[in-house]
Amino acid sequence: MLLVALLTVFFGCLYSDSFEGETVDTLRKRGHKITMYNKAEFRKSFPAWAEDRVGYFNPVAGWARSGRVIEHLNRLCVSLGVNVQYGTMSRLLLKPHISGSAVSSICEGIVTSDGLQIRAPVVIVAAGASTPLLLPQVKHFMWPTAQPVFHFEVSDPSRFPPEQFPVFFSSISKTGFYGFPVIEENHTTKFAPRKSNTLPQLAKEEVIHSHRIKVGQHGPGWKLDSINDASLSELWSKVQAGEEKKIRQWLHKALPALAKEKIVYSRLCIYCDTFDGDFLIDYIPNVEGLVVASGGSGHGFKFAPILGPIIADVVERKPNKYKSRFAWREVVTGRKESSRNLNAEAKPQTLAAL
């Protein structure tokens, strides 16, 4: 089992208006040396935020660009000799198996969309929000949801220095809003030269520097009927009407310097939600050789460094202290994630896939 350590720049993590007693108690019990701030201390330490706010700062936190991390891990796996095959799974290779009066199946591999058969003694489906589509057995357990994300242009990045504007959560169980430090983007744009009677000139390039702040919401989102590769790219841009107004109203109260900034990019962040917010990592009942490892509920990437050993232990049927929590279990109504805005006023809506 390969354990990969990811290195990133740590700015700590700020929790604004987040004096939830249980959260603070849990962090302290686990040895986190968090710093509490009253209104005056908060304003002095984090001036971009509006007045009359309180919160706490966790210095052992940070962020990484998920897309670049996945690209790096892919290159690392290839360099170590892992046989990485690219394509789209179409269906499982299932063979009926009858034992006495019970009828079950044996999973012998998968079939890709171009007809290639890949056989293996154990198949692990870790397909994120596509998991319920590929494994109908889990549709009652997990489903894809969409959450709005906005990138705001920062006209004056000096107002948001990293040491005073780290990763933040704003009463995450009440508002659901979170965000990141200033992201610097460099875009290369080609433009044609002016016409002249001289020889043709090559198109010139201009590097455009921009600064953004990403703000999203960890809330109920919109429940999706289904998703697939063909519709996903269009679905990303399908932010619902009214979401911009909602986030600007919150910014006006919390981060007034951002409230009127231009939105340069918006999309839907696709979750794979479980009924209780916990992962599902276990063998599928009545299907030999088939494991599901999904249900990140918006947390999948941040747990990546520890998920590998847990999944490996499940596959090899070894003991692991998290196995029972993430095991196949009965769906219980009323259970939900505590650190997420799932209040009664924000019930999830259904957003039909394209």
- Would you mind telling me the total number of residues written for the chain in this entry? 354
Residue 38, strand partner residues: none
* Res 204: pLDDT: 59
Cβ atoms within 10 Å, residue 151: 21
Burial track 29-50 (b if 16+ CB lie within 10 A, e otherwise) = eeeeebeebeeeebbeebebbe
* Res 351: pLDDT: 52
What is the rounded CA–CA span in Å between residue 204 and residue 281? 52
Name the maximum alpha-carbon separation found in the chain: 88
What is the rounded CA–CA span in Å between residue 123 and residue 279? 18
Q: What is the pLDDT along the chain (354 residues), one digit of tens a residue?
A: 222 223 333 347 888 875 566 778 888 898 888 899 999 999 999 999 998 888 999 888 788 888 899 999 999 999 999 999 888 888 999 999 887 767 699 999 999 989 999 999 999 999 999 999 899 999 999 999 999 999 999 999 999 998 899 999 998 888 889 999 998 877 555 555 545 454 455 555 655 678 999 999 998 888 887 676 666 667 767 788 789 999 999 999 999 999 999 999 999 999 999 999 999 999 999 999 999 999 999 988 888 889 999 999 999 999 999 999 999 999 988 777 777 887 644 444 555 443
Beta strand 102-112 with 287-288 is parallel
* Res 21: pLDDT: 66
DSSP assignment string, 72-131? HHHHHHHHTT-------EEEEEEEEEEETTEEEEEEEEEEETTS-EEE-S-EEE--GGGH
Alpha-carbon Rg for the chain in angstroms:
23
What is the rounded CA–CA span in Å between residue 88 and residue 271? 19
Phi, psi of 72 (to 5 degrees): -65, -45
What is the rounded CA–CA span in Å between residue 44 and residue 38? 10
Beta strand 89-99 with 263-274 is unpaired
Which residue pairs from 239-243 have beta carbons closer than 8 angstroms and sit at least 24 positions apart in sequence? 239/148, 239/266, 239/267, 239/268, 240/148, 240/351, 243/148, 243/150
DSSP assignment string, 250-312? HHHHH-TTTTTSPEEEEEEEEEEEESSS--EEEEPTTEETEEEEE--TT-TGGGHHHHHHHHH
The residue written with tokens 């603070």 in the block is 24
* Res 302: pLDDT: 86
Structural domains in the chain, sorted by start:
13-62+145-188+206-274 (3.30.9.10), 68-141+275-329 (3.50.50.60)
330: CB partners within 8 A, 6+ apart: none
* Res 101: pLDDT: 65
What is the rounded CA–CA span in Å between residue 92 and residue 120? 11
Instruction: Specify whether the CB–CB gap between 217 and 177 falls below 8 A.
Output: yes
Instruction: Specify whether the CB–CB gap between 287 and 137 falls below 8 A.
Output: yes
What is the rounded CA–CA span in Å between residue 160 and residue 169? 16
* Res 138: pLDDT: 95
Helix and strand totals (H; E) in the chain: 7, 18
